[in-house]
Structure 1
Amino acid sequence: MCNTCGCNITSSNEHLIQGDGRHAHTADGKSAVAVLQGLLSENDHQAAHNREHLDHHGVLAVNLMSSPGAGKTSLLEATIEALGQELRVAVIEGDLATENDAARIRAKGVLAIQITTGSACHLDAHMIHEALHRLDLDGIDLLFIENVGNLVCPASFDLGQHLNVILLSVPEGDDKPAKYPVMFRAADLVLCSKSDLLPLMPEFDPKRAEHHLRALASTAPFACVSVRSRAHLEPWLHWLRDEWRVQGARLETQGAIRPGRRHEGEHRSDPTGTSVPRYQDHHHHEPSPTHG
């Protein structure tokens, strides 16, 4: 884990920064806990500014989060191909090193800003603020932020986005929502990616994955997608189009709100087109015990 967000502090070593602990105070006498709290507070302040800036220009920002290799960049490539004539898209890429993902997006004819974080395991609002000033927001409808591949820290940092989308790929196993509850509770949409592998991996049960999600009291829609065919992307594309319309209407009335914090009873887009967000297939069975 990184040394920039406090995620290197655990229940086993937190005594070192509390009370009379060896590292309870910084070199200039400040409380280490207060410093960490201050960093998060400053991040939230910057995130609010970012969101206000995006709202002013009518840009919908979507934060994509997942473990490494879940298919975020591939999903963006396919999305650009599908929606390129409908919505003006730009991408902010986050990785510890290289511009590989940004280069892939640029090859699709879309502007991509690469943020290399070094040792930091997540993006933060200050990084996004700098990237926004490199974009012509008046020429953008939909801004994707591809966060650093990590199912832990990115969920704790508001970037100024409007929506959080979490990818859960089939090869990872269907128990990830149970293992990483903070991340999946932050979701406005959960996509089961690489669903074309389901016939080859019967140990992954989409219904069981959604069961774990619902056990977190999450009402986020859940849909299976694959970049291998346009038809298998439709749940995602439908959700994006609907959220774009909802965001436009909201800005004309009450303004935008933070991701994962919709008002009780407010309309929420369901990519399956049904009133209750759930995975749809022809099987009807209760979730079976989780595979390890």
Structure 2
Amino acid sequence: MAKELVVLEQRLLERNDTRAAELRRRFKEAGVLVVNLMSSPGAGKTTLLTATLPALSPEPAAVVVGDLATDNDARRLCTATPWVRQITTGTVCHLEAAMVEEAIARWDLTQLRYLFIENVGNLVCPASFDLGEAARVVLFAVTEGEDKPEKYPPILHRADLVLLTKSDLLAPLGFDVQRFVASVHRVNPKVPILPVSARTGEGLAAWLDWLRVLRGAWLSGSDERVRARLQLPERVNHEDQRS
């Protein structure tokens, strides 16, 4: 029985990967950079996007939102862009390529420059499913603690960027940035890490710069993820983070 379940899972992932590859081809042909945002619930994906979308203007950006229930996040994002689609998954803890394909079916992708996929809040299941994205961005909130990354290693294995959200709470919570960086890099030594705060604006300019540079690299056919542009210094001065 266990062997049969493994075979079924492999077939499911293979079908998903095939569909994701076709989506990726369509996105690139249309000139759209697709970013898959993944995090635990409450890490700040929607809040980040409410700050990101207006800042990208006049470059048109769309969002596909995945949630188990409600369209609360989609309604929030509608104030920032008319290009929003909600996927309600019920009991499914991740998005799949077929869901994304259906959600964007009526969109003219050539009118877009960016598409953000706000995945279901979960640090386990979404790691296994390719959605046709050009980049994976994983969010960890300061409120989750410094050792969270090592508890969920698969989510980091293919990450192109880690955002440390709610950075305005670093000082009040006594968050140890060096410990967090070490936790991330024990899983993925090369992924860049950027502290951001949608409340204060910290890190948003660098985040937008990363998106724009990555889009250029993606469309030119380069595999370079411009990681060096956002690498934290090897020694992060924790006292500076508190100032």
* Structure-2-length-normalised TM-score: 0.92
Partner residue in 2 for 1:195: 167
- Distance change (3 Å), C-alpha of 1:48 and 1:62: same
Residue 213 of structure 2 is aligned to residue 242 of structure 1: yes
How far 1:231 moved relative to its partner?
A: 4.3
Partner residue in 2 for 1:288: none
Contact 1:206–1:279 (8 Å) recurs in 2: no
> Quick one: higher RCO (CA 8 Å, sep 6+), 1 or 2?
2
Mark the runs of 5 or more structure 1 residues left unpaired by the alignment: 1-15, 19-30, 255-261, 286-292
Instruction: State, as a whole percentage, how many aligned pairs show the same letter.
Output: 46
CA–CA distance in 2 between the matches of 1:282 and 1:155?
Answer: 28
CA–CA distance in 1 between the matches of 2:82 and 2:104?
Answer: 15
> What's the secondary structure of 1:166's corresponding residue?
strand
CA deviation profile, 1:156-201 (whole Å, cap 9, x unmatched): 1001111000001000001111111100122100000000001110
Letter of the 1:268 counterpart: V
Partner residue in 2 for 1:283: 237
- Distance change (3 Å), C-alpha of 1:281 and 1:82: farther
CA–CA distance in 2 between the matches of 1:116 and 1:131?
Answer: 11
CA deviation profile, 1:223-274 (whole Å, cap 9, x unmatched): 1000013343122112112112211222xxx7xxxxxxx5xxx4524454xx
Letter of the 2:54 counterpart: E
Letter of the 1:278 counterpart: L
CA deviation profile, 1:78-136 (whole Å, cap 9, x unmatched): 00121122x21000000011111111111123310000001000000110111121222
Contact 2:168–2:200 (8 Å) recurs in 1: no
CA–CA distance in 2 between the matches of 1:143 and 1:114?
Answer: 13
Contact 1:95–1:149 (8 Å) recurs in 2: yes
Which structure: larger Rg?
A: 1
Partner residue in 2 for 1:17: 2
Of residues 28, 51, 65 in structure 1, which corresponds to 2:24?
51
Partner residue in 1 for 2:118: 146
Letter of the 1:134 counterpart: R
CA–CA distance in 2 between the matches of 1:84 and 1:102?
Answer: 19
Of residues 190, 208, 212 in structure 1, which corresponds to 2:179?
208
List 4+ stretches of structure 1 deviating above 4 A.
279-282
Residue 108 of structure 2 is aligned to residue 136 of structure 1: yes
Contact 2:178–2:238 (8 Å) recurs in 1: no
The alignment covers a number of residue pairs equal to 239
* Structure-1-length-normalised TM-score: 0.77
> What's the secondary structure of 1:120's corresponding residue?
coil
Residue 36 of structure 2 is aligned to residue 78 of structure 1: no
How far 1:282 moved relative to its partner?
A: 6.5
Of residues 5, 17, 40 in structure 1, which corresponds to 2:13?
40
CA–CA distance in 1 between the matches of 2:237 and 2:74?
Answer: 39
Q: Report the aligned-residue RMSD.
A: 1.9
